[in-house]
Amino acid sequence: MPLNARLVEVFVQFAQHATGDFQVADILHQLAAASADILDIAGAGVVFNVGDRMQLVSATSPAVQSAEQIQDAMMRGPCMDARASGRVVIEEDLAAHPQRWPQFCEHAQSLSLRSVASIPLLARGHVWGALDVYRASAGSFDETFLRTAQALADVAVAYVVMAHDRDQARAAHQVAAHSATHDPLTGLGNRALLFAQLEQAITAASGSGIGVLFIDLDNFKSVNDQHGHLVGDQLLIEVARRVAGALRPTDILARYAGDEFVALCPDLPTPATLAQLQQQVQQALAAPLTLNDTELDVSASIGAAVLDPTMNSADNLLRAADQAMYEAKRRGRP
């Protein structure tokens, strides 16, 4: 098959691969394999830029893999120079110029590799990696060879950039989604997420007990007034940690408002289980607490409610727990 036709076939394969949910490594493996198939070489290796190093991703033979690994170990070699310069680096005879990269040249020759060209994967002014192509004999790399290798590298890096942009967009979406449903201070779920989880638990209850603990810190405003908001924030973080530690692994704790927390407790064997959890939370909060060399007395008014046939929504269940909390506060119970 003529070279141009083979190139077209490879580019079609790249495009077909990229229509799926591909990973960067997939494209780089395809680049190495296509280079070895189309070019007159002993083998190809592809490295990818990770931090301050070039990391080997693909090699078409054990000899090429070993040659690439010695570059990484020595931090010297053609791909390192291609990365630094952003230009194609060529050595037509490794035996004739051993001083260029001494350890690499010696090792490559021991593997019967005599010449190398390193083509940087360049896009947006950034070197993303490099394609290293090796020959078993010394000699020049003609223009057709280099243009073909460059075309393969250019197509591959275009898809690498595409994957990078896709992954960045996904990460940004995940951060935005997390921010919309979580409290930035404590990392707990927020009110919106709590309601969604409550509704889901109620829908899936199938007769199993669901309970809620509504936790309101006592005298939190005085902590902010006397010690500042930094100590107040640290207190909320510590309260969240203590309450979560007093609950079961299957329970879900959320920050409902400024100094209010709600614990969703599904699959309660009996109502007494919720009462036991409430006691454990009270005990956890009653332990001595020192923040910034300041001793604080922490207590909370806690209201408990268990789902019953009269409650058909998250609002009703939360309202019952909220009323129980205010009754506890009115009675002066911690």
Q: Which residues are catalytic?
A: 259
Q: Directed axis angle between helix 191-203 and helix 143-181, to 10°? A: 80
* Measured distance CA(199)–CA(190) in Å, rounded: 14
Query: Within 10 Å of residue 75's Cβ, how many Cβ atoms?
Result: 10
Q: What is the CA radius of gyration of the chain?
A: 32
* Measured distance CA(267)–CA(272) in Å, rounded: 12
141 — phi, psi (to 5°)? -100, 110
How far apart, in Å, do the first and last CA atoms of the chain sit? 84
280 — phi, psi (to 5°)? -65, -40
316 — phi, psi (to 5°)? -65, -45
* Measured distance CA(292)–CA(226) in Å, rounded: 13
Half-sphere exposure of 87 (CA within 13 A, CB side): 3
